[in-house]
């Protein structure tokens, strides 16, 4: 893989092992063997260090949000990183201001739309300033304008992105891509080379009459 790749895609069908890889990379699941290090941090063993090294944005924001208000949600990870209450308050206010959402400080999250809740999750991650952000099918279920807005936000992020997806159209312009199949790397290389090969294979599979090939 390119050492300077800042936009990395992980392609694969449902059940291919993409989300398992994402959870291992984020330190949410221990690898069966070996060690995962992101920015020098053993993410499975050093949970505080992992928060500053890597963030993960899941497909469903309701699987990620744990607090009732936006301010509390943004502040939680910062507290886990060891920031003081004044530091947390300043970082939360700064993050909300960057997005023009200062009025969301005390907003009830359950009253927000799915796209707005996804933005809250993304702001919470960006507030911690991680080196890497994993995107696990984050735009599924969002309308096109909302997905486009979140994409623009991510394009401005300083962090490297690892985008988990089954849709090669989502990773146009990415630097590198891995094609995962049955838990193993089937192909790795420049995204503009891997994506069309993956897409052609998926189309060919979909054109078969044998439905047993489609149980992924």
User: For 152-204, what is each residue's pLDDT tens digit?
Assistant: 888 888 899 999 998 888 888 899 999 999 889 999 999 999 999 999 999 98
Query: What is the arithmetic mean of pLDDT over 14-26?
Result: 88
Domain limits, the chain = 7-65+114-122+129-214
pLDDT for residue 210 is more than 70: no
7-65+114-122+129-214 CATH fold: Rossmann fold (3.40.50)
d(C-alpha 11, C-alpha 52), whole Å: 26
Q: Which residues contact 203 (CB under 8 A, 6 or more apart)?
A: none
- pLDDT tens digits for 88-118? 999 999 999 988 899 999 999 999 998 899 9
């Amino acid at each position: 893989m390119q050492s300077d790749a800042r936009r990395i895609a992980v392609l694969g069908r449902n059940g291919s092992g993409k989300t398992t890889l994402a959870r291992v990379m984020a330190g949410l699941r221990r690898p069966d063997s070996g060690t995962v290090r992101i920015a020098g941090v053993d993410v499975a063993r050093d949970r505080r260090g992992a928060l500053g090294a890597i963030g993960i944005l899941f497909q469903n924001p309701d699987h990620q949000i744990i607090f009732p208000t936006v301010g509390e949600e943004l502040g939680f990870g910062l507290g886990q990183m060891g920031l003081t209450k004044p530091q947390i308050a300043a970082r939360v206010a700064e993050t909300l201001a960057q997005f023009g959402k200062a009025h969301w400080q005390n907003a009830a999250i359950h009253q927000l739309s799915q796209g707005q809740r996804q933005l809250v999750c993304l702001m919470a991650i960006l507030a911690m300033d991680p080196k890497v952000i994993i995107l696990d099918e984050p735009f599924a279920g969002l309308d096109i304008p909302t997905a486009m807005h979140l994409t623009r936000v991510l394009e401005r992020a300083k962090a490297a992105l690892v985008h988990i997806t089954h849709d090669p159209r989502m990773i146009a312009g990415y630097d590198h891509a891995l094609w995962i199949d049955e838990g193993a790397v089937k192909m790795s290389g420049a995204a503009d080379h891997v994506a069309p090969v993956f897409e052609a294979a998926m189309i060919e599979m979909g054109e078969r009459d044998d439905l047993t090939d489609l149980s992924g």
